[in-house]
A = this chain, B = another copy of it.
Amino acid sequence: METLAKKLNGFSLEGISNTVSAIQQNPEIAKFELRAKNKWITGGHNRSNIQGFYGACQEDTSRVVPFVYDNDEPPILLGENKGANPAEVILHGLLGCMTTSMMLLASAHGIEVSSVSSSVEADFDLQGFLGLDPSIEKGSQQIRVEFEVEGVTEEQKQELLSLAKQSPVYNTILNPTDVRVEIK
């Protein structure tokens, strides 16, 4: 007997509904611990490895090899462009998470979308980082995200906007987050 796995926007509708049901039955399934490791190379160049994580009550083993990503700085920030700048990296994660959140939840709500593209701009003032002016934020002063979505009504666009704002990364950046740092 053949089972047709119905997909919407590339997401398995059965997959979404099974995940939600499983979490409703056992909320422990919803808890994830995501991880990364990093090694400094020289100057502004360093490299991250991302592989395992804990989620759905188990250690994930789906990644045979780690994802390896480099951070570096452009020459004007004393680097050699061997990777994007780490602040650009979080913009990449922000757009990705908002897009995936929007599309997964749109699929759960039965909204089909034909295309999504997005862009982001983030303001930083290095006087904050360098400690030259204590009144200036060390973090980003403002981040502006713009989505362009095709194949939906104006009303659906507003719904998609609110779904994108469910994004874990968006909320991690928008709201204060408990970040603990140790050195040894």
Contacts and interface: CB of A to CB of B under 8 A. Distances in A.
Given A50-B92, A173-B177, A124 B38 contact: no
B50 A88 contact: yes
Given A138-B167, A179-B145, A76 B91 contact: no
A179 B170 contact: yes
Interface in A143-184: 143-149, 157-158, 160-161, 164-184
A149 B87 CA distance: 23
B93 A93 contact: yes
Contacts of A100: 44, 46, 71, 73, 86
A contact residues, range? 35 or more
Given A23-B126, A33-B123, A128-B168, A147 B182 contact: yes
Interface of A: 7, 9-12, 15-16, 19-20, 23-24, 27, 30-46, 48, 50, 53, 55-56, 60, 62-63, 67, 69, 71, 73-78, 81, 83-101, 103-104, 113, 115-133, 137-149, 157-158, 160-161, 164-184
